[in-house]
Structure 1
């Protein structure tokens, strides 16, 4: 069983903490991209969370199911308008199964990095492939490891520093483990959260896909299909189960 880092109290403030990801500029390109791949086929979101993409994708007419390890996150999803159209399962995205086959399985916002071993990430790819119908697509959105920003011998990279939030990543380049540290101040109280991740390179994900019987068909820098280059801080990758 994977570790759950998104139970209470993280779930209670999740939508506010990542409010920028709920803005139309972040949501609409992703929904347009995913809806185009799904077509008239159902979609399955791994780590569906509070429904940031599942709900608007459902409103586009795509039948959406979701799996999430956190019952607290799913509780927030169920409280939102339109949630009755989303079939959700509490479970591990490496092993939990949903009945039926899907034209699209997707995993966004760096969440595959919450699986802390290569074996668990490989299992996630295999579970995604097991849910796909022939010709179906698996989509992953993930940051590219920021190791080029680390001087030799350094292990920490600050990605945000202002009066309300100090955020920095800590890397172990031997084990591919990293920790994202957040120290925030809301005007009256301080809060500290540290979440572990396992980072992976695009080429490593391609091999995981091949082990699961899928082939890379697209890789972009973002949901708007910007070119993926050596300077891209993230990627949206699409693998397909052969017909």
Structure 2
């Protein structure tokens, strides 16, 4: 019998170092491009972010005048959001974003930075698409950002890769692959002068065509697919995608 999915587990383990690891190592340009693209797709309508985290996207979207709400599995991540300027003005429901409902009707639902794969099964991911559709007004959009599985990177079902390297940090990831159930079990290793931190996370990966079918089951269709937030064309060489589904 598999382990019971705990939507709070990831945030509980990483909330206190999330911004230090991810926001500071992510190119400012990537976040700026994402905010620009989402602001345009929202067309001035309210935005709901699944997995709102510490507010990397939500806070600048709110600063541009959009009404923003969120769903987040981890109370610890929400506390980090609340500690930031403007974070106390964004309503956030704590719960599983595959099923948690919030009040209101939205023009845009966002699920960024690979978070769809945090859901443990195809069934949960299908539920997430249906939940997104249930929050959208007619013609509204659901935006999903995620990586393309690179199974060739694994040798004998395992892989080790360096994510970033600087004078004061080594950030790497060890991964084990289960092709039969499309699971990737990972532990990130954050090594600094302050010590070693292990950050485990599981990913139920899905191919773009599988996500498209989930959207169709929820009454949505693919409107755009790009390789990044700058709307670069999606090609055979793309290692990630930003997909826009419309209700």
Shift of 1:86: 1.2
Shift of 1:91: 1.4
Shift of 1:21: 5.7
Q: Structure 1 unaligned segments of length 5 or more: list them.
A: none
Q: Structure 2 unaligned segments of length 5 or more: list them.
A: none
Aligned mates of 1:198, 1:227 — CA distance in 2? 25
Which residues in structure 2 correspond to 1:1-80 (within 5 Å)?
Answer: 2-3=5-6, 4-20=8-24, 23-80=27-84
Equivalent residue for 2:241? 235
Query: Which of residues 223, 230, 236 in structure 2 aligns to 1:224?
Result: 230
Is the counterpart of residue 120 in structure 1 residue 124 in structure 2? yes
In the superposition, the TM-score normalised over structure 2's length comes to: 0.91
Equivalent residue for 1:187? 193
Shift of 1:158: 2.4
Aligned mates of 1:193, 1:41 — CA distance in 2? 36
Q: Cα–Cα, structure 1 residues 129 and 99, in superposed 2: closer, same or farther, change >3 Å?
A: same
Query: Which of residues 158, 175, 178 in structure 1 aligns to 2:160?
Result: 158
Equivalent residue for 1:169? 175
SS at match of 1:76: helix
Alpha-carbon contact 2:23-2:56 (below 8 Å) kept: no
Aligned mates of 1:7, 1:178 — CA distance in 2? 18
Aligned mates of 1:210, 1:61 — CA distance in 2? 31
Which residues in structure 2 correspond to 1:103-142 (within 5 Å)?
Answer: 103-142=107-146
Shift of 1:100: 1.4
Shift of 1:40: 1.5
Aligned mates of 1:192, 1:110 — CA distance in 2? 19
SS at match of 2:104: coil
In the superposition, the TM-score normalised over structure 1's length comes to: 0.93
Aligned mates of 1:128, 1:118 — CA distance in 2? 15
Shift of 1:61: 1.1
Q: Cα–Cα, structure 1 residues 21 and 213, in superposed 2: closer, same or farther, change >3 Å?
A: farther
Q: Cα–Cα, structure 1 residues 2 and 104, in superposed 2: closer, same or farther, change >3 Å?
A: farther
